[in-house]
Chains A and B, each alone.
Chain A
Amino acid sequence: MKRLGLDIGSTTIKCVVLGEQNEILFSSYERHMSRIAEMTAVYLRRITEQTGEQNMHVTISGSAGMGLAEALEIPFAQEVYSTRAAVTKLNPGTDVVIELGGEDAKILFLTGGFEARMNGSCAGGTGAFIDQMATLIGVSPDEMNRLAGNADKIYTIASRCGVFAKSDIQPLLNQGAGFPNIAASILKAVVNQTVGGLAQGREIAGNVLYLGGPLTYLDKLRDSFDETLKLKGVCPEHALYYVAYGAAMQCDSRVFSLTELAERAEAYTASGSYMTTQPLFASQADYDAFCARHKANSSHVRYIDQPHGDMYLGIDAGSTTIKAAVTDADGNILDTIYQSNKGNPVPVIRDYLLHLYKTYPGIQIAGSAVTGYGEDIIREAFGIDCGIVETIAHYTAAQKFKPDVDFIIDIGGQDIKCFRIHNHAIDNIFLNEACSSGCGSFLQTFAEAMHYSIADFAKLGLFADQPVDLGSRCTVFMNSSVKQAQKDGASVENISAGLSMSVVKNALYKVIRCANASELGKNIVVQGGTFLNDAVLRAFELELNQEVIRPEISGIMGAYGAALYAQKRSTGQSTVLNAEQLRDFTHTVKTITCKGCNNNCSLTVNSFGGTHTFIAGNRCDRPLKLKTQPAAYNLYEEKRQLLMKYRKNEIKAGQPTVGIPLALNIYELLPFWHTLLTALGFNVIVSPDSTRKLYLSGQHTIPSDTICFPAKLLHGHIEALLAESPDMIFYPCMSYNVNEGAGDNHYNCPVVAYYPEVANINIKALKEVKYLHDFVGIHNRRAFPAKFREILRQYGYSFTQKQMKAAADASYKEYESYMDAVRRKAEEFLVVAKKENRPVIVLAGRPYHIDPEVNHGLDKLICGLGAVVITEDSIACRVDPFRTTVLNQWTYHARLYLAARYVAESLPEEQINLVQFVSFGCGVDAVTTDEVRSILEKAGKIYTQLKIDEVTNAGAAKIRLRSLFAAAGYDAGKKES
């Protein structure tokens, strides 16, 4: 009897029919467009037709097949297990299998202890990721593969999740980095994600097999894997069918009639059982009334046919789209565009300007302004009069439609921006973190996956009867929720409506985190391209239970606001390039690596017609104007300098050498440990500065892919130390931190406290050296010397109690003097700030946030905006401990609350604000951020948060910071002038 294996994956359905000798008699592969049960029925009938057999043994496998298998009462085989069965049969001797699918990524270690690694809550590094990225740069995956063949440079693209990668790619596109390099970098990101995220400590070596769609079709992806793994993997024949093959092999003795199964599958389609939510519209009449109401709100802004008098140009160079508007002195609109920036905004704007001059020959442009991610490059390229931070642009536009607007929410391609307006000033800003986009581009990707345009897809949901309740989660999780809904038989209409609601819920509950609608405001203006979809707009009103204003030009509000701003700032004649100048306009791009400092930024140098250039990708002003750099007052830099004293790595002959990894809490305790160990007669070597390379060198031993980046970096530092072969590596566990008496307790967070144990178990090479990772308690000064003496004795180093006591005393003293130096520096900077009338930013994080690889040079960026930067630990001592509304039990975090209180109590003329660094994945910060925010807001201060990870998204951080400066009423750096 023949055996049928069906592999129902997240995007495709595959089948294999096996004969008696395990030979493949029939195989087929197709996208199922989420119509799983229907497609399965079609397949089953086709198989009967083609093979002429009615009865077979059947097994279903695949990530989307579980529900169907249950419903049809067909045996189910787990897909990894199926792959393994097939590989064991077809490719004996294989050591490792790398299998990428639509939304799955897997590594199977077959030899030396079977282990399977699957991507979990993260869809990074999968086919869906590749599709999404290809869409982003406007090519097909095949073209992307071809482009990657011509690459000469690889950029760092965050490999964790599609949303992060996107925020990395976007600036590259905006800066004009070449497509081949971006394509190759995307493929490399997939490789890094697979190797880093999944291999988790196990080496990929020996005979490697590549399976699944992306690896079958994209040879450059295979090459990229080969290059990273330093081996030559094989993509076998039938690489697409291994799961189906393995499933067929696992068939039991039960026999099924395929026709009957097909009938059952068809019946299954009809049964819908999933969580539902209310329909968007009950009737067509409902919908009509809704449309009429929104139309009326925009009736006062007219469209005009011809320019008259002074006209103003506003451009919004957004992350994925370019918007522009030309207005007259009354704010009426002459012309607009809204289109994809195709990864490079420059030619789009050039074409648009040419179009303007051609269509309206006599047009008199009296002012121009640009906003958005691409602000700098567009301004430089086309001589735009002024730049304006996005938030201000949107507010200016919204006022035109609702003068007393008190809340604006803008959902664009990949950003959600919300701001609350109080006393005609923006007093609170919410931007979505890189992890919670779930906005326009998600809807788009999903629409495209189902072969619809985004507008059509959203429309499908308007009259859906039982929208799927998908909840509020980030894009990646939503992907799986949709998968689940499809499994449960939800129609495309109901999924569409559900997604519209999720976008809204995400914005409300994840970004703004409001508990009820009245919190937002009374006069709400919604805008951004995503709200052009009536389904999203309706979902928003339903969720808020309140009517809102959506201007008809919802999609171009940023550009419209820029135009209004241009009018305000107009001097009568714009400097924007005229038709003649545009004819000679050329744009070339070159990439270089900046050697200004050890950030080693990848710079893209854009030249325009050979006359002027624009450099992008920099995190500080160093490469731009090396000579005219203003004095920077950056306590982050000062701290790094202060630590250099302990990093000389002097080796005296005849003394044992101890290596200390410069990561996590060592960033603060280095003065202590260095002094202690040196006093005891050890040579101390400290690991080098963190770099990308150093991180990658330790990546293969990271056991948890969702842990914070500073912890991940530790692995690289240990590797660097091991390379120096010291006599001992020193990295002690510490449940408790120093007790500064500022809270209820003085713990370290669990990761800082116990990471030495993780290193011990996961970094094999540590077994070969002395690795001191014992528990020490420097909080107990009285007991410490004896305890530490005993620990060292166990490693073969004996000291007298007297020696130890003296060394410990010196260490406590050194630590104090280091902390004092930091505090004194802050004092000095505060005086300077006052004298020079500069704003002060308390950049509040934790000691390890001074690592440039962790903070991505954002400290320098803030200095570049003209502010004086000080740290949380430098001013915490200036405030008396107070009772917080959270359990205040971690030493580092207690400083955050004190620093916030200090800022809250500062005088307005001191211009002090706080910006909090938050490491992605830091569970403790879920507690601290709300508390810091509430301390600041109670005093009427603005709370600003910068979430940092592997990813470098200086652009988003910049918007946030400039908005803060603008909202706080400071001269927002030189850019605004």
Chain B
Amino acid sequence: MATNELYPEFTPEMKKTHTILIPNALPVHFSLMGSVFRDAGYKVAFLDYSGQKVIDTGLKYVHNDACYPAIVVIGQLIYAIESGDYDPKTTALMLYQTGGGCRASNYVHMLRKALKKAGLEYVPVVSVNFGGIEKNSGFDISPLMFLKGLITWLYGDYIMLLRNQVVPYENSKGDAAAIMEKWRVKLTDQIRENKGLTMRKIKQNFRAIADDFAAVPVTRTVKPKVGIVGELYVKYADFGNDHLPDFLVEQGAEVMVPGILGFAMYSLNIVRENHRLYGDRKGVTFSRVSVWYVERLEKVMLGVLKDYPQFEKPIPFPKLKALGEETISSGVCMGEGWLLTAEMSELIEKGYGNIVCVQPFGCLPNHIVGKGMIRGMNEKYKDANICAIDYDPGATRVNQQNRIKLMLSLAKEKLTES
């Protein structure tokens, strides 16, 4: 039903004149993804604005009962213009749109409403989505871009996975961060030259990265292992969760954050679920092929990691799905859906039984798959130690940290017992 009387489109000419602003959610992933966009001829900039001023901007322009991520990312985008850093005449804004039954699919519309309120309705908003909910003639994700995008996510996940397992133990602070930066630069260069994209090259890179991380001098002490699951934005974005992983490491824990590739596979798989459960046929082939391809990418990563027993690795997607099924049906496909519950199970089974389940206050899917399933986790696993933390413009650090500290106290007690 998309027609373009209702919103300004990102036109092909704008590709040359406009800078596309994107709220940064995953520093490593996004910086790699930036080069994918740039290679395709787009000018992009990732926004890292943070602090109360950004939240206030969001609150000013977004319905206050909207989810926290909407308030934050829309706050960032409008702040970028209002602060004078970007000229609204040559700026476009980008948001991701899932098209699922969760209200996150409405962020793009909330952003347009906010722009109108701010007198910036002429600024084009680009929706990135797989469902074809909206089209912009000037912005098109080509199959190559899609492929490259997925591969950057794979690299991002991989680096994040290893970094998280090294940082808490490194003898000299900053070693792991230096490796991360080194590879960020190296991979950006490779991707620009369309290298690093074949399975063979990926494997090679993976080995080199793992070697680098494995070479960091560490002292392996026994630390409580904490996993983070939750709504996508507050799970990954430092601004969303107030640097939760850093806080946990400071408090003496090791942190595992399941990667975003899982979410990609979960999303691509939804159409298959609709076919299985309801007999809906639309898009089934694409779904099958894409899930198959991403699983192959995942296999490469898992294959390499086999040779590095010191590093924990994720369980493959089909197994993850089966594990989730023990608690919740994989028909639950809104927001993070069954994946969130499955990740809790995965983390616990991998020894990360202490879990922070993060969600924006009042997040609808999380009522179901997060808070709604904690009881099931506690019954299934006696090692589960899960705390649910709400993020909200009004939530204070004291309250959040206090709960997390209780979780950590219990985690430490368990360590002493065993």
Residues of A bordering B, CB below 8 Å: 63-64, 66-67, 76-81, 113-116, 118, 120-121, 200-201, 275, 469, 471-474, 477-478, 480-481, 483-484, 487, 509-510, 513, 515, 703-704, 706-707, 711, 733, 735-736, 744-745, 747-751, 753-755, 757-758, 761-762, 774-777, 779-780, 782-784, 786-787, 883, 885-887, 889-890, 921, 923-927, 929-930
Contacts and interface: CB of A to CB of B under 8 A. Distances in A.
A704 B367 contact: yes
16 contacts: A63-B399, A114-B410, A120-B399, A471-B394, A477-B396, A703-B375, A750-B101, A777-B274, A784-B278, A786-B279, A886-B113, A923-B67, A925-B65, A927-B109, A929-B63, A930-B113
A751 B103 CA distance: 12
Interface stretch (B32-40, B163-171, B293-301, B331-339): B331-339
A7 to B, nearest CB: 13
Interface in B101-117: 101-103, 105-106, 108-110, 112-113, 117
A926 B66 contact: yes
Given A750-B335, A783-B278, A887-B106, 8 more contacts: A275-B52, A477-B396, A509-B60, A513-B63, A515-B60, A735-B334, A744-B1, A926-B65
Contacts of A885: 6, 109, 112-113
Contact of A483 (B331, B390, B398): B398
B401 interface: yes
A787 B402 contact: no
**When A and B form their complex, which 3 residue pairs have the shortest distance between CB atoms, in order from nearest?**
A783-B279, A777-B278, A477-B394
Nearest to B65: A926
B409 A77 contact: yes
B264 interface: no
B364 A761 contact: no
Contact of A78 (B55, B110, B402): B402
B390 A750 contact: no
A472 B59 contact: yes
B334 A753 contact: yes
Contacts of A79: 402
Interface in B393-418: 393-399, 401-403, 405-406, 408-410, 413
B372 A787 contact: no
Contacts of B55: 471
Given A120-B390, A786-B279, A930 B52 contact: no
B90 interface: no
Nearest to B332: A754
A887 B108 contact: yes
A803 B52 CA distance: 62
A105 to B, nearest CB: 13
A121 B389 CA distance: 10
Given A754-B368, A757-B329, A887-B109, A480 B398 contact: yes
A81 B409 contact: yes
B52 A887 contact: no
Given A78-B409, A510-B64, A473 B278 contact: no
B56 interface: yes
A780 B331 contact: no
B157 interface: no
Given A471-B56, A883-B3, A707 B367 contact: yes
B280 A777 contact: yes
B372 A758 contact: yes
A484 B52 contact: no
Contacts of B63: 513, 926-927, 929-930
A792 B129 CA distance: 36
B279 A703 contact: no
Given A118-B403, A703-B372, A703-B374, A484 B327 contact: no
Given A515-B118, A747-B101, A484 B279 contact: no
Contact of B133 (A749, A753, A775, A887): A887
Most buried by A among B66, B102, B382, B392: B102
Contacts of A929: 63
Nearest to B100: A747
Nearest to B412: A81
Given A751-B368, A787-B279, A513 B394 contact: no
B242 to A, nearest CB: 13
Interface residues of B, number: 77
A777 B279 contact: yes
Contacts of B329: 733, 757, 774-775
A704 B371 contact: yes
B363 interface: yes
Contact of B327 (A67, A706, A761): A761
Contacts of B403: 118, 120
Interface of B: 1, 3, 6, 52, 55-56, 59-61, 63-67, 97, 99-103, 105-106, 108-110, 112-113, 117-118, 133, 274, 277-280, 327-329, 331-335, 361-365, 367-369, 371-376, 378, 382, 390, 392-399, 401-403, 405-406, 408-410, 413
Most buried by A among B335, B396, B403, B405: B396
A78 to B, nearest CB: 4
Given A120-B403, A471-B52, A787-B278, A762 B372 contact: yes
Given A63-B398, A885-B6, A889-B101, A750 B279 contact: no
Nearest to B5: A883
Contact of B278 (A481, A758, A779): A779
A81 B3 CA distance: 58
A703 to B, nearest CB: 5
Contact of A121 (B56, B105, B392, B398): B392
Nearest to B60: A515
Contacts of A924: 103, 364
Contacts of A200: 375
B368 to A, nearest CB: 5
Contacts of B398: 63-64, 66-67, 480, 483-484, 487
B365 A750 contact: yes
B406 A121 contact: no
Nearest to A103: B399
B1 A883 contact: yes
Contacts of A749: 101, 364
Contacts of A509: 59-60, 64
Most buried by B among A80, A114, A758: A758
Contacts of B399: 63, 120-121, 480
A733 B278 CA distance: 11
B394 A121 contact: yes
B133 A735 contact: no
A531 B363 CA distance: 36
B325 to A, nearest CB: 11
Contacts of A883: 1, 3, 6
Given A116-B406, A754-B368, A761 B362 contact: no
B5 to A, nearest CB: 8
Most buried by B among A749, A762, A926: A926
A884 to B, nearest CB: 8
Contacts of A889: 99, 101, 105
Most buried by A among B117, B277, B382, B395: B277
A513 B398 CA distance: 28
A787 B367 contact: no
Contacts of B374: 703
Contacts of B118: 515
Contacts of A275: 52
Given A471-B56, A704-B372, A750-B101, A923 B362 contact: yes
Contacts of A703: 367, 371-372, 374-375
B105 A887 contact: yes
Contact of A782 (B101, B279, B390): B279
Contact of A751 (B64, B65, B367, B378): B367
Contact of A113 (B382, B396, B402): B382
B34 to A, nearest CB: 27
Given A515-B60, A761-B373, A923-B67, A886 B367 contact: no
Contact of B110 (A121, A473, A748, A927): A927
